[in-house]
């Protein structure tokens, strides 16, 4: 079964998730920082969300990485395409104390490069809650552009389109 | 660099227990779309069935064991999901069996569960194992009985509701 590849950057590395990462995300979802994402309603829901993004690698060759900074879990970066998503999505979660250091930007840049070179989807977008200004700012910093007409599952989201080259 | 995690494949007289594949999605989505799945968290939309299948694969990677897709060897038809399961929210490691529509009444759940239980004891070195059976799921309780498991209290799952705990004989009792 395929798991996430390890990718090293300058201040962080992307690595496969381990079980103990789940506790940190459980705490994240209970915090105000999770106001723009779907909160799990209990341990079963948390497990299904977390384990499915790990298993996505085995099924589709894409999924979630843990972002690790100095040996500590700093967040998650994901490239996923469950059947109900119109397009392949790049998503990110940054844990509380790691903000403001360019970590999400570097992690996303590495993930986009891997996506472009290896996953090679027809397209790559980020679905972001329209009120999540910090995530929207990151999408723009990554060079993504607003696509007002793209299909989306959640009407509360805006769609930012990344450039992954001419692989379609 | 791609990391591979190796999940074993087991065989019985009639069945092959292999790791979950993307190609299992249609069979799993059909199972979770049908009313029969209400004992195990269904019915589910295709979105949730996808999440369930991906979770089965992720379980192997995170825990090092998991549930197999059971395939009828002669026809290569997926007939169910059986194996060793410990998602968050479960009291301990469980031997579970879900048979797809049209695969019941042939002894497949028992046959696959015996192979999975043997793997747990002989290969993984476990010493005990439970099965959780939702109240009212009499067909599943009959499988537990055929496997010589015995009632060992009750458990209320946050989603599945009241469940019977059935405890399997340990490895020493099966040799």
Tokens of residue B46, six digits? 């295709």
What number is the average pLDDT over the span B103-121? 97
Query: Is A24 part of the contact surface with chain B (CB cutoff 8 Å)?
Result: no
ipTM of the complex, rounded to two decimals: 0.91
Tokens of residue A15, six digits? 């690595």
Span of A32-41, A64-73, A108-117, B57-66 with lowest mean pLDDT: A32-41
User: What gap in Å lies between CA B166 and CA B148, rounded to an integer?
Assistant: 9
User: What gap in Å lies between CA A151 and CA A67, rounded to an integer?
Assistant: 29
- Which B residues, 89 through 108, put their C-beta within 8 Å of a C-beta on chain A? 89
Give pLDDT tens digits for B9-38: 999 999 999 999 999 999 999 999 988 888
Percent of chain B with pLDDT over 70: 97
- Chain B: give the shortest CA distance to residue A161, in Å: 23
Query: What's the pTM value of the predicted model, to 2 decimals?
Result: 0.93
Strands B130-134 and B150-157: unpaired
Query: Is B4 part of the contact surface with chain A (CB cutoff 8 Å)?
Result: yes
Q: Is the model's pLDDT at B5 over the cut of 90?
A: no
- Which A residues, 48 through 107, put their C-beta within 8 Å of a C-beta on chain B? 48-60, 82-84
Span of A134-148, B7-21, B44-58 with lowest mean pLDDT: B44-58
Give the helix ranges, DSSP H, for chain B.
25-33, 46-63, 108-118, 138-146, 171-174
**Minimal-distance CA residue of chain A relative to B41:** A44
Q: Do B87 and A50 touch (CB under 8 A)?
A: no
Query: pLDDT higher for A117 or A32?
Result: A117
Q: Is the model's pLDDT at A90 over the cut of 80?
A: yes
């Amino acid at each position: 079964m395929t798991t996430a590849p390890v990718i090293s950057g300058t201040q962080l590395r992307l690595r496969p998730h381990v079980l103990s990462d789940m506790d940190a995300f459980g705490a994240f979802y209970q915090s105000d920082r999770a106001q723009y994402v779907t909160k799990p309603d209990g341990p079963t829901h948390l497990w299904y969300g977390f384990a499915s993004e790990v298993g996505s690698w085995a099924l589709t060759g894409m999924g979630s990485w843990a972002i690790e900074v100095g040996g500590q879990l700093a967040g998650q970066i994901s490239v996923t395409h469950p059947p109900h998503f119109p397009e392949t999505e790049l998503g990110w979660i940054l844990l509380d104390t790691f903000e403001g250091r360019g970590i999400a930007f570097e992690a996303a840049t590495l993930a986009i490069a891997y996506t472009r070179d290896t996953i090679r989807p027809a397209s790559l977008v980020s679905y972001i809650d329209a009120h999540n200004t910090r995530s929207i700012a990151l999408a723009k910093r990554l060079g993504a552009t607003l696509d007002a007409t793209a299909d989306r599952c959640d009407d509360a989201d805006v769609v930012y389109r990344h450039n992954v080259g001419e692989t379609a | 660099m791609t990391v591979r995690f190796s999940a074993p494949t087991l065989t019985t007289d009639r069945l092959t227990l292999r790791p979950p594949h993307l190609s299992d999605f249609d069979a799993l989505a059909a199972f979770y779309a049908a009313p029969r799945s209400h004992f195990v968290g269904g019915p589910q939309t295709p979105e949730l069935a996808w999440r369930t299948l991906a979770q089965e694969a992720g379980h192997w990677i995170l825990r090092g064991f998991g549930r197999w897709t059971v395939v009828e060897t002669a026809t290569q038809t997926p007939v169910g999901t059986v194996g060793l399961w410990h998602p968050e929210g479960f009291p301990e490691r469980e031997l579970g069996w879900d048979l797809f529509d049209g695969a019941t009444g042939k002894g497949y759940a028992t046959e696959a569960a015996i192979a999975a239980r043997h793997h747990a004891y002989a290969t993984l070195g476990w010493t005990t194992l439970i099965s959780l059976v939702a109240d009212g799921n009499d067909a599943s309780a009959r499988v537990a009985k055929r496997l010589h498991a015995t009632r060992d209290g009750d458990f209320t799952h946050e989603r599945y509701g009241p469940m019977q705990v059935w405890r399997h004989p340990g490895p020493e009792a099966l040799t």
